């Protein structure tokens, strides 16, 4: 029986619900010290003096580390590797006396317990000289400059096609900064070993990335640093780059030759990367029949003064629909805040807001149903790349979504449907996300007890990676899942890419599949050493049962094969690469999102009563965990549409709602019925598994679908996100 496509329970579920799954800030050790970060209270300037005398006078306070007494760093502030770094000079905590943003770590108090460390931190006094600064994207638009992005070249003649078109839309959409806020805050526990080596437990999406970072910044040998992340309590992109608690904890451990833990507070979770604020200008045009003839998407995003972080916001507008005249551009505005960071569905979650809202506005001008309009402009090629899609079941997503959602009840005229005093609106949007594959390695090891251990350095950030890889290994090895152990989250394991971009299963899953298949070859070789008859047998002629190799009436158990090999385990490691046949195609997941809203006519409050998300993601390895991924994405999309924004006090360059009470996200009462549908889609090009990944696609398009539904309910186009009741009530007393 095939294990792929089966709704298997999480193999790590019991560990998590019983509390036996340890996270980065939970590993114990006798004599462990605790660090508390002291943060900047200005947005730009220099530190003149740090007075830690009052803190150091407290019994139990061991040290206060700052730029003046930290351990040495290797090289300068440009010489280190980070797989998710932006162009520019990456930030290093305690590197010098410069203050680059409000909330920057300037000192670390190390004490015998966390409460004491935090109290001592409040006693540290810092004197500054302030420099002129600005944290407001809008105020700095005049300083925008082209981003260092590899954008598709313009195609056709946009200006001429737009000017001559029968219908045109020219609209500006704004999205706010958002912070990741996973349930588990960022933490690093660094165990200092007798030989001077470091065992680091970090909240990260890439253990090997963190290992490289620590070695290069602190001048350490790779053999002296091991980074582990067995369990990660959510990340959404916040763990792609090493965050500052990691080097601070390592510096303290090296300086004191003691084990140290640094855990960031919820407020400090707002002092590093975030989804950047954007201003997006969309110009779309069609002919009289509704065919797109011109698309221009210009986005402006904020970045820090020291790095040029570039989102992939506009590319989607050149690939989702067919259009021969396209112009895409992206500018950056430097501000005195930290560098933005990839956040779930980076770029697409923002760019599809602009594109799909503008598509809705253009469909209205053409007087065409929004779904029909999109079907008319379907493209089976990615025109940005000039390649056909390996598969694109988007039409099936539209069709299935319309049926499940009962789209036929939608009225084109806004304010046509009511539920008492509430206006009812129906809206939809399309979605797209690249189906990528990265090089990855995995090891399969069959022990004397007949159990299979598969290992790779990738992490599981809560997406179900342990479970999906168990299913892939069981399928490839022909063994039951209960006899398979997956080892993840360890920098000493076979190389794996960062977990992000929805490419973990495509990349690491392929490596696991190939490693288990290669193990079969090793077992056949071992069989030949026991029984010479097996020396002439090919893999195609033998069978592998749950515990034995079988050929005709001959059978050799796995345990016998391992024992005969005179090793503790038969092992094979595979370095998997993307298949060359991918190069001729463009690969992507697609979706169609349908949303129903009710808007209180007097109060302006919005409730999303129903969402149908139809997804084309190739072969879904585990529909149960994949379903949850889409559910989570839809909830987040509702939050993007109606709730979520980081509010910055530009008088201080400081984020104001830096807690989970004031940083608004949807709660249970905000969520109505969500229906998730995976349409059938076979793809033999994307990878041997046929899997495209679902981590990102569930979020893409949701906010636009909700916004379009709000317009259908009220007749008001709100282009400044999130769509809060004050924006809906702006103008007449009633909607």
The CATH number that domain 278-436+583-729 falls under is: 3.30.365.10
Cβ neighbours of residue 613 closer than 8 Å, sequence gap 6 or more: 401, 591, 592, 593, 594, 630, 633, 634, 674, 675, 676, 677, 698, 702
- Write out the two tokens for 38: 């002291």
Section 602-609 average pLDDT: 96
278-286 and 292-304: which strand pairing? antiparallel
Listed residue (624, 626, 667) closest to 644, CA to CA: 667
198-202 and 187-192: which strand pairing? antiparallel
The helix or strand, by DSSP H or E, that contains position 702, with its residue range, turns out to be helix 702-714
Distance CA 70, CA 638 (A): 45
- Write out the two tokens for 19: 């509390």
Fill in the DSSP letter of residue 9: P
Section 142-155 average pLDDT: 94
pLDDT tens-digit series, residues 111-123: 999 999 999 999 9
Q: How confident is the model at residue 74 (pLDDT cuts 50, 70, 90)?
A: confident
CATH 3.40.50.920 fits 17-132+182-265, yes or no: no
Q: Provide the edge-to-edge strand list for the sheet that holds 45-51.
A: 98-99, 45-51, 125-130
The CATH number that domain 438-577 falls under is: 3.30.365.10
| C-alpha separations of 10 from 174, 451, 468, 674, 695 in Å | 39, 19, 9, 22, 16
pLDDT at 734 over 70: no
Distance CA 698, CA 433 (A): 10
Q: What is the pLDDT of residue 77?
A: 53
Q: What is the pLDDT of residue 84?
A: 74
**Count of positions (residues) in the chain:** 735
Section 11-23 average pLDDT: 96
Distance CA 378, CA 388 (A): 12
Q: How confident is the model at residue 76 (pLDDT cuts 50, 70, 90)?
A: low
pLDDT at 78 over 80: no
Which residues of the chain are in CATH 3.30.365.10 domains? 278-436+583-729, 438-577
DSSP code string of 266-291? TGGGGSS--BPPEEEEEEEEE-TTS-
Section 465-490 average pLDDT: 96
pLDDT tens-digit series, residues 90-116: 899 999 999 999 999 999 999 999 999
Q: Kindly state the percentage of the chain with pLDDT values over 70.
A: 99
Distance CA 319, CA 394 (A): 13
Q: What is the pLDDT of residue 732?
A: 62
pLDDT at 632 over 80: yes
Q: What is the pLDDT of residue 544?
A: 86
Distance CA 631, CA 253 (A): 41
pLDDT at 203 over 60: yes
3-state DSSP of 103-172: CCEEEEEEECCHHHHHHHHCCCEEEEEECCCCCCCHHHHHHCEECCCCCCCCECCHHHHHHHCCEEEEEE
Q: Is 76 left (phi over 0), alpha (psi -120 to 50) or beta?
A: beta
pLDDT tens-digit series, residues 504-525: 999 999 999 999 999 999 998 8
Distance CA 220, CA 242 (A): 16
User: Residue 256: phi, psi to the nearest 5?
Assistant: -95, -10
Distance CA 478, CA 473 (A): 8
- Give catalytic residues, as residue numbers: 696
353-362, 410-419, 448-457, 523-532: segment of lowest average pLDDT:
523-532
Distance CA 464, CA 624 (A): 10
pLDDT tens-digit series, residues 339-394: 999 999 999 999 999 999 999 999 999 999 999 999 999 999 999 999 999 999 99
Listed residue (513, 375, 457, 417) closest to 202, CA to CA: 457
Distance CA 671, CA 690 (A): 32
Distance CA 190, CA 254 (A): 10
User: In which residue are the tokens 């990615």 written?
Assistant: 382
pLDDT at 563 over 70: yes
Burial of 59 (0-12, 13-18, 19+ CB in 10 A): exposed
pLDDT tens-digit series, residues 204-238: 999 999 999 999 999 999 999 999 999 999 999 99
Q: What is the pLDDT of residue 197?
A: 98
Distance CA 430, CA 87 (A): 31
Q: What is the pLDDT of residue 278?
A: 98
Which residues are bridge partners to 260 per DSSP?
A: 33, 190
Which residues of the chain are in CATH 3.90.1170.50 domains? 17-132+182-265
Q: Is 67 left (phi over 0), alpha (psi -120 to 50) or beta?
A: alpha
Distance CA 606, CA 666 (A): 12
- Write out the two tokens for 703: 């906010």
Classify the C-alpha dihedral 209-385-313-705 as positive or negative. negative
Q: What is the pLDDT of residue 534?
A: 86
CA 5 to chain centre: 23
User: Residue 350: phi, psi to the nearest 5?
Assistant: -90, -50
User: In which residue are the tokens 């169609």 written?
Assistant: 592
């Amino acid at each position: 029986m095939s294990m792929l496509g089966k709704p298997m329970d999480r193999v790590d579920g019991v560990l998590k619900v019983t509390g036996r799954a340890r996270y980065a800030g939970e590993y114990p050790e006798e004599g462990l010290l605790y660090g508390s970060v002291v943060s900047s209270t200005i947005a730009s300037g220099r530190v003149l003096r740090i007075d830690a005398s009052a803190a150091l006078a407290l019994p139990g306070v061991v040290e206060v580390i700052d730029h003046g007494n930290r351990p040495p760093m290797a090289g300068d502030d440009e010489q280190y590797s980070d797989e998710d770094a932006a162009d520019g000079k990456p930030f290093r905590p305690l590197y010098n006396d410069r203050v680059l943003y409000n909330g920057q770590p300037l000192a670390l108090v190390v004490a015998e317990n966390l409460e004491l460390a935090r109290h001592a931190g409040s006693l540290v006094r810092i004197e500054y000289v302030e420099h002129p600064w600005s944290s407001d994207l809008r105020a700095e638009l005049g300083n925008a400059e082209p981003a260092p992005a590899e954008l598709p070249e313009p195609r056709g003649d946009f200006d001429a096609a737009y000017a001559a078109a029968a219908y045109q839309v020219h609209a500006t959409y704004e999205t706010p900064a958002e912070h990741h806020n996973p349930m588990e805050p960022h933490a690093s526990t660094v165990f200092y070993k007798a030989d001077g080596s470091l065992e680091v437990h970090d909240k990260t999406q890439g253990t090997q990335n963190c290992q490289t970072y620590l070695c290069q910044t602190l001048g350490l040998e790779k053999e002296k640093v091991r980074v582990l992340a067995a369990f990660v309590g959510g990340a959404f992109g916040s763990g792609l780059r090493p965050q500052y608690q990691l080097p601070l904890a390592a510096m303290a451990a090296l300086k004191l030759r003691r084990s140290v833990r640094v855990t960031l507070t919820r407020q400090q979770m707002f002092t590093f990367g975030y989804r950047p604020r954007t201003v997006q200008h969309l110009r779309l045009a069609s002919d009289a029949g509704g065919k797109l003839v011109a698309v221009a998407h210009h986005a402006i995003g904020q970045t820090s003064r020291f790095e040029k972080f570039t989102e992939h916001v506009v590319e989607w507008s050149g690939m989702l629909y067919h259009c021969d005249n396209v112009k895409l551009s992206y500018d950056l505005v430097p501000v005195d805040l930290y560098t933005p960071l990839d956040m779930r569905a980076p770029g697409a979650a923002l760019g599809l807001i602009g594109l799909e809202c503008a598509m809705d506005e253009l469909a209205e001008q053409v007087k065409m149903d929004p779904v029909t309009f999109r079907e008319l402009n379907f493209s089976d090629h990615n025109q940005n790349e000039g390649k056909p899609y390996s598969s694109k079941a988007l039409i099936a997503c539209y069709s299935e979504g319309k049926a499940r959602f009962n789209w036929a009840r939608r009225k084109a005229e806004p304010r046509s449907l009511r539920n008492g005093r509430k206006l009812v609106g129906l809206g939809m949007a399309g979605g797209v996300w690249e189906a990528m594959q990265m090089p990855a390695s995995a090891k399969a090891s069959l022990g004397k007890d007949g159990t299979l251990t598969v290992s790779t350095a990738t992490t599981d950030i809560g997406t179900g990676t342990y479970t999906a890889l168990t299913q892939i290994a069981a399928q490839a090895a022909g063994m039951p899942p209960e006899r398979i152990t997956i080892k993840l989250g360890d920098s000493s394991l076979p190389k794996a890419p960062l977990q992000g971009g929805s490419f973990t299963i495509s990349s690491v899953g392929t490596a696991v599949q190939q490693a288990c298949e290669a193990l079969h070859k090793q077992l056949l070789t071992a069989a030949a050493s026991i029984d010479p008859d097996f020396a002439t047998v090919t893999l195609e002629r033998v069978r592998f049962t749950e515990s034995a190799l079988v050929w005709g009436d001959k059978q050799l158990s796995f345990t016998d094969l391992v024992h005969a090999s005179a090793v503790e385990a038969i092992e094979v490691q595979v370095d998997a690469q993307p298949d060359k046949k991918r190069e001729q195609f463009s690969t992507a997941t697609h979706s169609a999102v349908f949303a129903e809203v009710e808007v209180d006519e007097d109060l302006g409050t919005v409730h999303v009563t129903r969402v149908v998300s139809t997804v084309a993601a190739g072969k879904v390895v585990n529909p149960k965990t994949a379903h949850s991924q889409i559910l989570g994405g839809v909830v987040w999309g509702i939050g993007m549409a109606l709730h979520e924004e980081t509010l910055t006090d530009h008088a201080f360059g400081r984020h104001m709602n830096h807690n989970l009470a004031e940083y608004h996200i949807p709660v249970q009462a905000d969520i109505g019925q969500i229906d998730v549908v995976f349409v059938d889609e076979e793809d033999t090009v994307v990878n041997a598994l046929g899997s495209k990944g679902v981590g990102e696609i569930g979020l893409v398009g949701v906010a636009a679908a909700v916004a379009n539904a709000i317009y259908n309910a009220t007749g008001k186009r709100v282009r400044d996100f999130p769509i809060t009741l004050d924006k809906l009530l702006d103008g007449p007393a009633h909607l």
